[in-house]
Amino acid sequence: MDNLRLAQLLFPDIDKTPADYEALYPPRELPDGARVTRFAPSPTGFLHLGGLFAAMVASRTAQASKGVFYLRIEDTDKKREVAGGIGGIIAGLAQFGIVPDEGRVSETEDKGDYGPYRQSERKQIYQSFAKHLVEEGLAYPCFCTEEDLSAMREAQENEPVKGYYGKWATCRNLTLEEIEAALAAGKPWTLRLRSQGDCEKKIIIDDFIRGKIEMPANVQDIVLLKQDGIPTYHFAHCVDDHLMHSTHIVRGDEWIASVPIHIELFKACGFKVPKYAHIAPIMKEERDESGNVCGKRKLSKRKDPEASVTYYAQAGYPAESVNEYLLTLANSNFEDWRRANPAAALEQFPFNLKKMSASGALFDLAKLNDVSKNVISRFSAEKVCADVLAWAKGYDSALYELLAADTDFATKMFAIDRGGKKPRKDLAKWEEVKDYYAYFYRPLYQNDFALPENISKEDAAAIVRAYKGVYSAADDKDAWFANIKDLCEPLGFTPNVKEYKQNPEAFKGHVGDVSGIIRLAATGRRNTPDLYAILALLGEEEVGRRFDEWIEKMN
C-alpha cells in the first residue's frame, strides 16, 4: 500500500506536518520537577462539585511544583454543548479562586502560547497528525455505515472481545484501489487507528492515586476522526496533551477504562506517555428512613443539590471555605497541617497527589460547615462586610439594601467578637447573616418578650427600668459591667455567681440573669456576641427605645 498517496488522497488540504506544530509548541521552560496539568471540561456550562474538585486537584498539583495549570475546552461533541457554557465554567472556577495560568479565559479568548485552547479551533492540527498516522500505516479510512456496524455487533454476540478489531475490522485491509473507488463514489468515511494491540497482552499503568493497575491492551481500531473530520475525544486529547506538554493527566476515574486506548494512541503518534492521576468520585453516605447510615454512593447530579457548585454560591459559602473543605477531602494530612498553621494561606500547603483516597472521599455537609466557621472566624470585619455585600447583591436584595445603607455600621457589627485569640465561630455561610444579625436592624429586629422560667415579669421590668437609669454609652467595658453588678443587690439578685451557687434560696438569681434580661430587652435573644459592643453599636437612642418597649410589655 502506498501510504503517502493514501494520506494525500484523504487530506489534500493539509500541508503542515507534525514537525511544524512541534516547532510551534516547543517544550516549556519550567524548573525541574514542574508539573503541567489541565482541566479539560466539555462546555456544558454546568460545573459539578466533582469537576471543581478535579480542577482544584490539578491546579494545586501544578502550583505545588511551580508548574502550569491550564484550561482546555473539549467541545468535539457538539451535542453536549450549551450556549454560554464556556463562560459558565470559567466563572464557576473563578468563583472558587481557580484562575488557570493559561488557557481559555472567555467564550472567545485565550491566554498563553499553546493555544488555541478550544478543540473546535484545532481541526487542522488534529488532521495534520491524522495524516501522519496514515503515512505511517497506522490509520486508515473506514467506510462502514451504521447498518454495517450494527450487523457486526449482532454477529459478535458470542465473541469474548467485541468491537471493531482484527477480522471484524472490515476496512482495515482495503486496497488503495478500493479506497479510491469508495472516495470517488463520495462515500463518507471515518479515520480509524490501525491498532497494534494484542488480545493476550496486558498493560500496567502506575497511577498516582490508584497505584498499579493492570489492564488488557487496546486492540480496537478506534475512530480518530469522525465523518465530519472532527476528532474523537481520545485522539484530540492525546494530540493536545502532547503539544501543550501536559505532564500529569489529572481527571475523574471514569476515564481509567480508556487508558489502554490512550496509551496506544500516545505511542502510535510517537509521543511520550504522560503520567496519570485518576480521581475517585466524591461519595456520600446513604441513610435509611430512620436516618441511619446504610451505605455510600457517588454524589449525584440528580439527587444531591450540593453536587452543583451553584449550591455553594447560593448559600453564600465563601470560596475559601469550599476550597479549604475540598482540600480536607483531597489530602488526609491537610487538617493536621491547618492545625499547625492556622493562619497560613492555602497555597502554602504541600499538596500531594499520592495522599488522595483511591476509594473516594466522603462528602459531609456538617463538616463543611465546621470548616467554614473556622475559615470565616479568621476573616477581618472588612472582608466579611465586602463578601456579604457581594453575596447579598445577588441573592438577598433586602439584606443588601440594609448593609449598603451604612457599611461603616455593618463593618463594626461584623467586628464584634472577631479577631483576637478566640473569635466566635457561629457563621458558616452568608445566608445565615440576616438572621444572626437581625437585631441590629429595625426592619429585621423582633422580640417575642418571652422570659426565662426563673425570672418574673415584675423583675424583668424592674431590671430594665433600673438599668435604663444608669446606662451610658460613654462607659468603658469595666464601668459598664460594674453598673450591671451594682443593679443586682437592690433587686434581690447577687453580683456573685459563686455566692448564688452556695445559697440559691437567698437570691432571685445572679448577675448572669440580670445581664441576660438586659440582653433580651435589647436584642430579643438569649445568646449574642459581646453585649457591651452590641449596645454601643446600637446606640443610646435605639437601646433606650427597646428598653421602653420592654418595660411596657412587662407591665
Question: What's the full length of the chain, in residues?
Answer: 555
> Contact 54/250 with Cβ under 8 angstroms?
yes
Rounded least distance, CB 125 to ligand GLU, Å: 17
Grid cell listed for 420:
483576637
Rounded least distance, CB 350 to ligand GLU, Å: 24
Rounded least distance, CB 84 to ligand GLU, Å: 17
Rounded least distance, CB 115 to ligand GLU, Å: 17
CB atoms within 10 A of CB 165: 19
Grid cell listed for 15:
500541508
- Torsion 260-248-59-355 (CA) sign: positive
Q: Choose between 93 and 315: whose C-beta lies nearer to ligand GLU.
A: 93
Rounded least distance, CB 432 to ligand GLU, Å: 35
Rounded least distance, CB 40 to ligand GLU, Å: 4
As a whole number of angstroms, the distance between CA 33 and CA 61 comes to: 11
Q: At what angle do helices 511-523 and 531-538 cross, to 10 degrees?
A: 30
Rounded least distance, CB 233 to ligand GLU, Å: 6
Q: Which residues contact 63 (CB under 8 A, 6 or more apart)?
A: 69, 347, 351
As a whole number of angstroms, the distance between CA 315 and CA 270 comes to: 49
Q: Choose between 252 and 495: whose C-beta lies nearer to ligand GLU.
A: 252
Q: Choose between 41 and 318: whose C-beta lies nearer to ligand GLU.
A: 41
- DSSP summary character for residue 167: G
Q: Choose between 72 and 508: whose C-beta lies nearer to ligand GLU.
A: 72
CB atoms within 10 A of CB 303: 11
Q: Choose between 41 and 360: whose C-beta lies nearer to ligand GLU.
A: 41
Rounded least distance, CB 74 to ligand GLU, Å: 4
What does the binding site for ligand GLU look like in residue numbers (CB under 6 A)? Answer: 40-42, 74, 233, 237, 249, 251, 255
As a whole number of angstroms, the distance between CA 331 and CA 354 comes to: 9
Q: Choose between 10 and 249: whose C-beta lies nearer to ligand GLU.
A: 249
Sheet with 36-39: strands ordered across: 36-39, 68-71, 102-104, 110-111
Q: Choose between 121 and 180: whose C-beta lies nearer to ligand GLU.
A: 121
As a whole number of angstroms, the distance between CA 288 and CA 305 comes to: 18
Q: Choose between 221 and 253: whose C-beta lies nearer to ligand GLU.
A: 253
Grid cell listed for 441:
436592624
Q: Choose between 101 and 542: whose C-beta lies nearer to ligand GLU.
A: 101
Beta bridge partners of 214: 204
Rounded least distance, CB 58 to ligand GLU, Å: 9
Q: Choose between 65 and 119: whose C-beta lies nearer to ligand GLU.
A: 119
Rounded least distance, CB 44 to ligand GLU, Å: 8
- DSSP summary character for residue 427: -
Grid cell listed for 501:
451557687
Q: Give the DSSP per-residue string, 33-48.
A: T--EEEE---S-S--B
> Contact 18/129 with Cβ under 8 angstroms?
yes
Q: Give the DSSP per-residue string, 475-521.
A: --HHHHHHHHHHHHGGGTEES-HHHHHH-GGG-SEEHHHHHHHHHHH
> Contact 264/291 with Cβ under 8 angstroms?
no
